[in-house]
Structure 1
């Protein structure tokens, strides 16, 4: 049963990580440069661009960040590695650095990106000017996570496959 739980955690961490990071990379590919929304696009909830934003699945990537982070912590804890990874000690230092980067990325999603995205999408009342300002913040927050995912993946691979730099 322990082996099944370990396998489930590993796959949950892996698949949720692909969904989470993949969402950021697909955003970069689909929209390589930021194009600001226009006030007309936000004032008319039926505009094609606004509907495209609204219909994009926001829940998957947000909750994938929680699943990825939680499964990763639980795997480290079950192996007895969590304290050494947190303290950046020995061979677990790279995984610890990756864990800190992942924590920062998850907090960015939940504390920066999502509160502003709710305003852009009209899920939280905000003026048109505020919604336009928030669209830029969500773009920058998403790009920050995309850039942070590069060292995150590096440190995960380094920690898993031995050798530091």
Structure 2
């Protein structure tokens, strides 16, 4: 008899290093797959809260070997209120973030007119990582309009 593993979980947060504070209201999509050649399945959608965190991502399904976090950063950078401490951007509900993530999944990836002037060089950030049963994966995103960094946190 094999011992059951605790659920495999994922958490994330975004820090806007250009503004020096958490990135609020960024839509985040969590996708999973059971193997490196398998197609992605959207598992959850969320949005970052006032602290830049997604606190409602569900545990990963059993058999997941890879996870992907997609961060929709273009709308965040297009919002002029993001740099105003007195007027922080609104935080959409999880349903709104889920709808945004689904719309992005169906939207064409290339704009034939060229990039829009949103202030972001990267309109989205996708981070793919391997997972093992029973582990917790915290994947912070350090973000600015022209670059980003990710790492496995604790």
Name whichever structure is richer in helix by fraction.
1
TM value normalised by structure 2: 0.27
Name whichever structure is richer in strand by fraction.
2
User: Larger relative contact order (C-alpha < 8 A, sep ≥ 6)?
Assistant: 2
Larger Rg: 1
